[in-house]
Structure formats: structure tokens, C-alpha cells
Amino acid sequence: MNKTIKQYAIQTKICPPEALDDPEGYDGYEFYDKLTKFVELTKSYYVNRELAKTCKNDIESFLRQSTVSRNRRHAEAIVQALVGEQLTKRWWNSPNKAFNMMTPEEAWKDNQEFVYNYLCHHAYSGGGS
């Protein structure tokens, strides 16, 4: 039995310590009723904890995707403002010294925050390095 669960069972007086050491040799319906209830509550606790983790992960994933999408749209608008509509696609697909000769598209996949910050710097500081 998990040591933490055993300690919790003893602390909450669900059953006497000796009952958990040797449940086979311990008689008493009250003990078995309490232990059964304890096991069900423990299962419920872990199921709810896993569900909470899953929900948290889903929410964080959604927020990350939402931010990525929003940042990408903003980055596209910045590039278009800096180089014009006709050259935007070319800018994203041409090697760039700022990204170690990777294309901005490749760099975005590798580290979108760096590319986004680069664009923001050039857009809001008037260009230059």
C-alpha cells in the first residue's frame, strides 16, 4: 500500500495502524466498510486530480495556440507594413542574416518569440539593428 495513503488512513482514524499492516488477519466489518469507503474516496481523489490536470493542460494549450495565432497575425501585419504586400511572402521565405541565414518562416517554427520580438523591434524603433 502507498505509504502516503497508509499514513493518511491512520491520521484520519479510518482504521487502526495494525489493520493496514495485515488486512487479512484483521477482523471487523467496520474496518472493511471504512477501508472500502477510503479506497473509493482515494480513487475519486486521483481521478479528479487527473481530470483537473487534463483540464489545466487543455486550457494552457488553448491559450498558447491562441497567443501563437494572434502573434502570427500581428507578425504578418508588421512584415506587410515594413516591406509591402507584394514582398511579404518573399520576406518570410528568404534567408535572413538575423536568423543565421534561416528563412524567417523556419526561424518562426524554431523560435517564434525571437522572430516576433525582432519584428516588433524593427516596427516600433524605426528599423535598424
Residue 13 per-residue DSSP state: T
Gap between the Cα atoms of 21 and 9, Å rounded: 12
CA distance 34 to 30: 6
Q: Which are the contacts of 23, defined by CB distance < 8 A and separation ≥ 6?
A: 35
Segment 56-65 shows an average pLDDT of 72
Summarize pLDDT for 8-56 with one digit per residue, the tens. 766 776 666 666 555 555 555 666 666 677 777 777 777 777 777 777 7
**Which of residues 20 and 83 earns the better pLDDT score?**
83
User: Taking the model in full, what pTM does it have?
Assistant: 0.49
